[in-house]
Structure 1
Amino acid sequence: MKKLAVLTSGGDSPGMNAAIRAITRKSIYHGIEIYGIMNGYQGLIEGNIFKMEVGSVGDIIQRGGTKLRSARCQAFKTDEGQQAGIEQLKQKGIEGLIVIGGDGTFRGAKALTEKGFPCIGVPATIDNDIAGTDYTIGFDTALNTIIAAIDKIRDTATSHERTYVIEVMGRDAGDLALWAGLAAGAESILIPEKTDDISEVVHRIQRGHERGKKHSIIILAEGVASGIDYGKRLEEATNLEVRVTVLGHIQRGGSPTAFDRVLASRLGAKAVDLLLHGQAGQMVGMSENKLVNYDIAHVLSIEHAIEDKMYQLSKEISI
């Protein structure tokens, strides 16, 4: 291959720029022309494609978000939209595409590969909800952002002897809530993968009060319930003063951690290697600190699952 392209799609995550940088410079190192596609699959359909140079990715490894921007594109879910994207790539002589994003992004890559255009997927989503890799790009940074917020809120919870519900991202996956709750010492962690009746949370709060505990931190993944609604229900059930904090999109931004920068760099470089060795329709990942790759179709067929032992541990040590 002589010409490759890269795009970012779906929700942004810290470390995407590090992956773009690695892909660009790895390609140029091997004498390959590399093209950036702005605004994800929407930009691909529109032909918003430009040649990248070494300097194009200078000073971006430390920046959150994505230099190539991101957009959701309904048109690309259609056969016509996918074919239009392929034609745009072929017009520029581009022979392979690397996509950075989550499962929606990978579905687009799978469709292109099935139509005969080679694609590789790089997992980047703060939810850490992609099978086949221990970590996705952006998860560690988002996790640390949440932990820092919880630590600050706990100071106030302690000072005012209140119960706090902290809503974090995670519509379908509870990794952020589980990891953050365990790391920050939350009393209760509520995630989409597990059913916790509010009575259990109430019992845990009351048990703490009986032994003199004056405050509680409850971490709630957005896929379970609205933090505001849950806080009201909890207040009615306990007759305690409950405060709610919804962290929202603050979890997506910020400078990526060292872990995410290194992970993104390794995965991005691996994606280029796969295309150069004639492999397509693959997702790169990290398993037990080793680079791996799996068929995208296989990855998309596996339902994400949390680690049950970690969830059980969170209950055992939050008594």
Structure 2
Amino acid sequence: MRKIGVLTSGGDAPGMNAAIRAVVRKAIFHGLEVAGIKRGYTGLISGDIVPMDLGSVGDIIHRGGTILQTARCEEFKSEAGREKAIAKLKEHGIDGLVVIGGDGSFRGAQLLSEKGIPTIGIPGTIDNDIPCTDYTIGFDTAVNTVIDAVDKIRDTATSHERTYVIEVMGRNAGDIALLAGVACGAENVLVPEAKYDIAAIVEKLQRGAARGKKHSLILVAEGAGKGFAIGEVIRELTGWDTRVTVLGHIQRGGSPTAFDRMLASKMGAHAVDLLLEGQKAMMIGVQGGKIVGTDINDALCTPRTPDMSLYELAGVLSI
């Protein structure tokens, strides 16, 4: 192992830059050369590859997004596309690869490993939907972004005595909505992992209003339904002035929290360690506070099991 590459793929997440920094600096510490691959697998196929040194990753640990840019690549899904990518890796003398991204990025890493390219995956996605790790890079920052936005919405909801439906990201996972909902004291949290009854939600809102509650907040994970549709049903059933906010991509940006900076730094450094040990097709994760390596095939095949006790707690605390 003399030279490694690093790329970011899929949706960006706060903390990706901290992970890139850790990979580059840990590799240089061990005497390795490092190449940065721009725009994920798209840049790998096209050969958009640049040398990286200590200065390349200076002053980036606090920045959101990814300095290597990111993209989704349909061509890489084909055998011909992957052969082009492997040819570029060999052309640039890259012996191993670190891929920072979500499950789609990991499938690409798995396929490269099957072709003989040692590849390590680092989970970078705000959705927190990757099995075999308690947290993914960017999730903590996204939750805190939602909390900050909801706290502001609460001020105007109180002032105007309104019900607000707030739709948050997460794809098919409800972790962002769930953690932010508990932290914000939302009256209802709707997640794709649990069925909900809109009539029961309305009844709960009406009970609150009957005891003098002036406003209500409902957090909806995008995988559980559309905020505007849910808001319209509540408006029709209650006649209340119901407003909807879709937070959207604001959740992906911003400076990463201390937790995400630390997590990304530890994961990036451990990815280099695994490559130096001769490992391949591995995913870095955090389990019980410890950084661990998991076979990437297991990570892709293991069903994700969210902590539904937190969902139950949200219901208890919002009676």
Normalising by structure 2, what TM-score?
0.99
SS in 1 for 2:267: helix
Q: In the alignment, which residue of structure 1 is the partner of 2:200?
A: 200
Is 1:178–1:189's contact at 8 Å kept on the other side of the alignment?
Answer: yes
Post-superposition Cα deviations, 1:274-293, rounded to whole Å, max 9, x if no partner, equal 00001100000111110111
Unaligned runs of 5+ in 2: none
Q: How far off its partner does 1:116 sit?
A: 1.3
**Residue 103, structure 1, aligned to residue 119, structure 2:** no
Q: In the alignment, which residue of structure 1 is the partner of 2:294?
A: 294
Is 1:125–1:139's contact at 8 Å kept on the other side of the alignment?
Answer: yes
SS in 2 for 1:50: strand
Q: How far off its partner does 1:45 sit?
A: 0.3
SS in 2 for 1:255: coil
Q: In the alignment, which residue of structure 2 is the partner of 1:268?
A: 268
Cα separation, 2, equivalents of 1:112 and 1:237: 53
Cα separation, 2, equivalents of 1:122 and 1:104: 12
Q: In the alignment, which residue of structure 2 is the partner of 1:66?
A: 66
Q: How far off its partner does 1:79 sit?
A: 1.1
Cα separation, 1, equivalents of 2:127 and 2:168: 10
Task: Give the alignment of 1:115-194 within 5 angstroms.
Answer: 115-194=115-194
Q: How far off its partner does 1:14 sit?
A: 0.3
Q: In the alignment, which residue of structure 1 is the partner of 2:6?
A: 6
Q: In the alignment, which residue of structure 2 is the partner of 1:255?
A: 255
Q: How far off its partner does 1:305 sit?
A: 2.5
Q: How far off its partner does 1:196 sit?
A: 0.4
Q: How far off its partner does 1:161 sit?
A: 0.7
SS in 2 for 1:10: coil
Cα separation, 1, equivalents of 2:200 and 2:42: 46
For these two proteins, the number of residue pairs brought into alignment is 319
Q: How far off its partner does 1:247 sit?
A: 0.4
Task: Give the alignment of 1:28-39 within 5 angstroms.
Answer: 28-39=28-39
Normalising by structure 1, what TM-score?
0.99
Q: In the alignment, which residue of structure 2 is the partner of 1:53?
A: 53
Cα separation, 2, equivalents of 1:182 and 1:114: 42
Is 1:171–1:192's contact at 8 Å kept on the other side of the alignment?
Answer: no
CA RMSD of aligned residues (A): 0.7
Q: In the alignment, which residue of structure 2 is the partner of 1:313?
A: 313
Cα separation, 2, equivalents of 1:242 and 1:24: 49
Cα separation, 2, equivalents of 1:133 and 1:230: 32
SS in 1 for 2:310: helix
Aligned residue type for 2:90: K
Percentage of identical aligned residues: 61
Q: How far off its partner does 1:211 sit?
A: 1.1
Cα separation, 2, equivalents of 1:122 and 1:218: 33
| Displaced runs of 4 or more, over 2 A | none
Is 1:193–1:305's contact at 8 Å kept on the other side of the alignment?
Answer: no
Post-superposition Cα deviations, 1:238-284, rounded to whole Å, max 9, x if no partner, equal 11110001100000000001110000000000000000001100000
Q: How far off its partner does 1:82 sit?
A: 1.0
Aligned residue type for 1:227: G
SS in 2 for 1:265: helix
Cα separation, 1, equivalents of 2:185 and 2:77: 42
Post-superposition Cα deviations, 1:174-202, rounded to whole Å, max 9, x if no partner, equal 00000000000000000111110111210
Q: How far off its partner does 1:303 sit?
A: 2.3
Cα separation, 1, equivalents of 2:33 and 2:284: 21
Unaligned runs of 5+ in 1: none
Cα separation, 2, equivalents of 1:138 and 1:194: 24
Q: How far off its partner does 1:228 sit?
A: 1.1
SS in 2 for 1:223: coil
Task: Give the alignment of 1:274-289 within 5 angstroms.
Answer: 274-289=274-289
Cα separation, 2, equivalents of 1:25 and 1:50: 16
Q: In the alignment, which residue of structure 2 is the partner of 1:77?
A: 77
